[in-house]
Chains A and B, each alone.
Chain A
């Protein structure tokens, strides 16, 4: 069976790529302490269930750990690379609020993300031709509407070199 789990949409690429939180380079570890029962922990539970996969997909090098039923109230703790620890209290908050808050304090802003995407695009110019591994096309004949490769479709007689040379020679005489 192709669908596994309660909300198999969480496993789709489309859902994962829609994740908004991309952490700054300084964030190394993220820890979530929450409870399995209780109304106040509901937002944290939903956050863990729905948003953690997205965050991990977007930040594959950040270690994320979940601790259940260790403290009476739920919280998030981030460990940065200079030893600083950031505590975020999430008791009673909704999972969307938690995501937005985390994005504000420790995520890369939209402007930075756009700049990074632009820089990445500049590396691969679609106007360049070359091996398929690095570029889109190898030859102009691969483009729709251009003259096809004579290896696959023979050129019309008028465009071949030998015909033109013959005509030129005939007209010279």
Chain B
């Protein structure tokens, strides 16, 4: 990420031993590509600072040693990190983790199965109760139906008996003359008034 963020995109070539006179490339800075060189800098020849050869040799040795040590350390640490990461993802740690997770999963599945079994038993009991209730209802309905049927038959029989009784008073062709004689002998008076309770209140006199 640091590489992405660093603004250092111009290569500044600077050798420790001055093999060529002009080494340093121009850095952009404030001016753009098209801006001319400043008037005060027209005849300028930039020279790098002078280098002492004796000092150079010593410094180069020290720098090589220093960079060697640092690079070794850096790579050592990197290797440690990579090993740890590898262990965690693929190696022993991962295996232990997988085993542990498998164990947990098994126990949780057992829990779930126990729960399902409990629900199953509950459901069985409930179904049984419902079946019994339904059975009871059906029996009661059958009894009721039977009762209804008997009542109906009784009612019909009663009506038949009533009709038989009334049939005795029917006017048939046999006793037609007799009944006519009777009717003529006993005139009936339908002129009467009733009050709200239905009792007869007034009877007008019979008039032919």
A interface residue numbers (CB < 8 A to B): 26, 73, 86-89, 91-92, 101, 104-106, 130-131, 134
Q: Is A89 a contact partner of B120 (Cβ separation < 8 A)?
A: yes
In the assembly, what is the distance between CA of A106 and CA of B112, in Å?
10
Q: Is A89 a contact partner of B108 (Cβ separation < 8 A)?
A: no
Q: Is A89 a contact partner of B119 (Cβ separation < 8 A)?
A: yes
B123 in the interface, Cβ–Cβ < 8 Å? yes
Q: Please indicate the chain A residues that have their CB under 8 angstroms from the CB of B5 in the complex.
A: 130-131
Q: Is A89 a contact partner of B111 (Cβ separation < 8 A)?
A: no
- Within 8 Å by CB of A88, from B1, B105, B116, B122, lies B116
Given contacts A73-B123, A130-B5, contact A89 B116 (CB under 8 A): yes
A27 to nearest B CB, angstroms?
11
The closest CB in chain A to the CB of B117 belongs to: A89
Q: Please indicate the chain A residues that have their CB under 8 angstroms from the CB of B112 in the complex.
A: 86-88, 101, 105
B interface residue numbers (CB < 8 A to A): 1, 5, 105, 108-109, 111-112, 115-116, 119-120, 122-123
In the assembly, what is the distance between CA of A62 and CA of B120, in Å?
28
Would you call the interface of chain B mostly helix, strand, loop, or mixed? helix
Given contacts A106-B108, A130-B5, A131-B5, contact A87 B123 (CB under 8 A): no
The closest CB in chain B to the CB of A102 belongs to: B112
Q: Is A105 a contact partner of B108 (Cβ separation < 8 A)?
A: yes
Q: Please indicate the chain A residues that have their CB under 8 angstroms from the CB of B123 in the complex.
A: 73, 91
In the assembly, what is the distance between CA of A91 and CA of B123, in Å?
8
Q: Is A105 a contact partner of B109 (Cβ separation < 8 A)?
A: yes
Q: Please indicate the chain B residues that have their CB under 8 angstroms from the CB of A73 in the complex.
A: 123
Q: Please indicate the chain B residues that have their CB under 8 angstroms from the CB of A106 in the complex.
A: 108
Q: Please indicate the chain A residues that have their CB under 8 angstroms from the CB of B120 in the complex.
A: 89
A138 to nearest B CB, angstroms?
11
A154 to nearest B CB, angstroms?
20
Q: Please indicate the chain A residues that have their CB under 8 angstroms from the CB of B115 in the complex.
A: 88-89, 101
Q: Please indicate the chain A residues that have their CB under 8 angstroms from the CB of B122 in the complex.
A: 92
The closest CB in chain A to the CB of B110 belongs to: A105
The closest CB in chain B to the CB of A134 belongs to: B1
In the assembly, what is the distance between CA of A87 and CA of B115, in Å?
10
- Besides A88-B116, A105-B111, 12 more A-B contacts (Cβ < 8 Å) are A26-B105, A86-B112, A87-B112, A89-B115, A89-B119, A91-B119, A91-B123, A92-B119, A92-B122, A104-B111, A105-B109, A131-B5
Supply 14 A–B pairs (Cβ within 8 Å), ascending by A. A26-B105, A73-B123, A86-B112, A88-B116, A89-B115, A89-B119, A89-B120, A91-B119, A92-B122, A101-B112, A101-B115, A104-B108, A105-B112, A131-B5
Q: Please indicate the chain A residues that have their CB under 8 angstroms from the CB of B119 in the complex.
A: 89, 91-92
A134 to nearest B CB, angstroms?
8
Q: Please indicate the chain B residues that have their CB under 8 angstroms from the CB of A91 in the complex.
A: 119, 123
The closest CB in chain A to the CB of B119 belongs to: A89
In the assembly, what is the distance between CA of A130 and CA of B3, in Å?
12
In the assembly, what is the distance between CA of A131 and CA of B6, in Å?
11
The closest CB in chain B to the CB of A80 belongs to: B105
In the assembly, what is the distance between CA of A134 and CA of B123, in Å?
56
5 nearest CB pairs, A to B? A89-B119, A105-B108, A89-B116, A105-B112, A130-B5
Which has the most chain B C-beta neighbours within 10 Å: A89, A101, A130?
A89
The closest CB in chain B to the CB of A78 belongs to: B112
B85 to nearest A CB, angstroms?
13
